[in-house]
Chains A and B, each alone.
Chain A
Amino acid sequence: MKYMLLIHQGNTPLPGSPEWERLSEEEQKSVYADYQAINQTPGVTPADVWMEAPETATTVRVEKGETLTTDGPFVAVKEALGGYLFYEGDDLDAAIELASRIPAARMGGAVEIRPTKEG
């Protein structure tokens, strides 16, 4: 089974923010180490880019042929996509296990697991 794991940061402290600076050096290191371990897990294809913060997003709609752009993500900033990766594993349980090791899942965010199929 192939899955896309969508990482929603929620309230997760992000590097560069004051909340992140309040974490101990040890906690900061463990976040980086955990992401590295995730990316090296067999079956994982990490995203090859980092997504900039959701505040920098622009959302586009077309109504009656007119293109409308608005500042910010489609959903609320707290609910916006913060990152993603692809995973090929045996079943949903394997994907859940991987998702539960993603730091955002325990730091105030959540991970959505979406099964994918060949287009």
Chain B
Amino acid sequence: MTTARNRAIDRIRRDRTLATKVRLLDVPETVEDDMDETTIPDERLELVFTCCHPALAIDAQVALTLRTLGGLSTEEIARAFLVPEATMNKRLVRAKHKIKAAGIPFRVPPAHLLPDRLAAVLAVLYLIFNEGYGGRGDLAAEAIRLGRALVDLMPDEPEVRGLLALMLMNDARRDARFADGEVVLLRDQNRSLWNLDQIAEGRTALERALALGGRGPYVLQAAIASLHLEDPQDWAQLAALYGELARLTGSSVAELNRAAAIAEAGDVEAALAVVERLELDRYHYLHATRAELLRRLDRLEESRAAYGRALELVHSDAERRFLEQRLVELPD
């Protein structure tokens, strides 16, 4: 209750200080003069598109978005991205200077540019979310807050709702993803640790997105996240959705997930055939998936070699321990 109230106060405080935030960006004066209670929502949207303009480096887009829309201090952003405050400050100053000097517009892009530019905005929010999902939870919460605000500002854009739905449902499982610092697979997760309210909110957002005709990458990923929360999972449907996602985005990672879904649906041979076609040699999940499929096919020597390759590439300690455990459990 206190949290909710604080959040509401934060929101109001953030809206009130928006004029200051806009001034941080040094946008044209006419914009500041028009700043009153009624015009604030639209101008916040314009600010989103300015901060996420593709003429800015992606790390600058992320930093500007957190600073001007998220209300994080430079110090907080620096800490979140593990860089010295001076570095982050320089990054922000440079980005603001470029906005002004290069004439990056302060407006919602016209219709013919909107799909590309909105995709850039969503990519920034998702990047912020994933930074948080990897452990820094405050960033995930911030990304969700920004996602909710963007839904308010662009209620008819299905991809915006799709992204919010995706973030809500993934974040809802945060407490269950690790136990004593170890990775817990979805099927082994303690469901009582899932945030059910957040899952319900995510599903509602997904339904609205689908009702709006959304079939874009974020809507698809949200639909996938939703299916993963069901017990038992509909693996055939999941494989179809991953296939559609791979087709839409050309993503080999989506194709790898399709393979995993095909295997869970029962056809391990077909799944392995999909994996063998992928060019993702530097991606440890590819080798981990391949190892698991080979194990199920009783091709143990090849499985061992694939786990070895996955272990060469893995970065996170928790995932390394997980892979080592799987390797040890392989029968001789």
Contacts and interface: CB of A to CB of B under 8 A. Distances in A.
A47 B109 CA distance: 30
Main SS of chain B's interface residues?
Answer: loop
A51 interface: no
B113 to A, nearest CB: 7
Interface string A99-119: 000000000000001010100
B101 interface: yes
A1 B55 contact: no
A116 to B, nearest CB: 10
Contacts of B102: 92, 113, 115
* Interface core residue of B101, B103, B104 (most chain A CB under 10 Å): B103
A76 to B, nearest CB: 24
Interface string A13-49: 0000000000000000000000000000000000000
B105 interface: yes
A5 interface: no
A92 B105 CA distance: 7
A90 B105 contact: yes
Nearest to B109: A93
B103 A96 contact: no
B256 to A, nearest CB: 32
Q: What bracket does the count of chain A residues touching chain B fall in?
A: 10 to 19
Nearest to B101: A115
Main SS of chain A's interface residues?
Answer: mixed
Interface in A26-81: none
Interface in B190-217: none
Q: What bracket does the count of chain B residues touching chain A fall in?
A: under 10
A95 B115 CA distance: 19
* Interface core residue of A1, A93, A113, A117 (most chain B CB under 10 Å): A93
Interface in B96-120: 101-105, 109, 113
B120 to A, nearest CB: 13
A91 B103 contact: yes
A32 B292 CA distance: 58
Contact of A115 (B53, B103, B109, B113): B103
A115 B105 CA distance: 13
A91 B55 contact: no
* Interface core residue of A113, A115, A117 (most chain B CB under 10 Å): A115
B27 to A, nearest CB: 11
B286 to A, nearest CB: 33
A113 to B, nearest CB: 7
B26 to A, nearest CB: 14
B55 A96 contact: yes
A91 B55 CA distance: 12
A40 to B, nearest CB: 21
A92 B113 CA distance: 13
Interface string B64-79: 0000000000000000
Interface in B44-75: 53, 55
A98 B70 CA distance: 33
A119 to B, nearest CB: 15
A91 B105 contact: yes
B180 to A, nearest CB: 50
A95 B104 CA distance: 10
Contacts of A115: 101-103
B328 to A, nearest CB: 52
Contacts of A90: 103, 105
A93 B49 CA distance: 12
Contacts of B109: 93
9 contacts: A90-B103, A91-B103, A91-B104, A92-B55, A92-B103, A93-B105, A93-B113, A95-B103, A113-B102
Interface of A: 1, 3, 90-93, 95-96, 113, 115, 117
Leading 10 A-B pairs by shortest Cβ distance: A1-B103, A91-B105, A91-B103, A92-B103, A115-B102, A92-B104, A92-B102, A115-B101, A93-B105, A92-B55
Given A96-B55, A113-B102, A115-B102, 12 more contacts: A3-B103, A90-B103, A90-B105, A91-B103, A92-B53, A92-B55, A92-B103, A92-B104, A92-B105, A93-B109, A95-B103, A115-B101
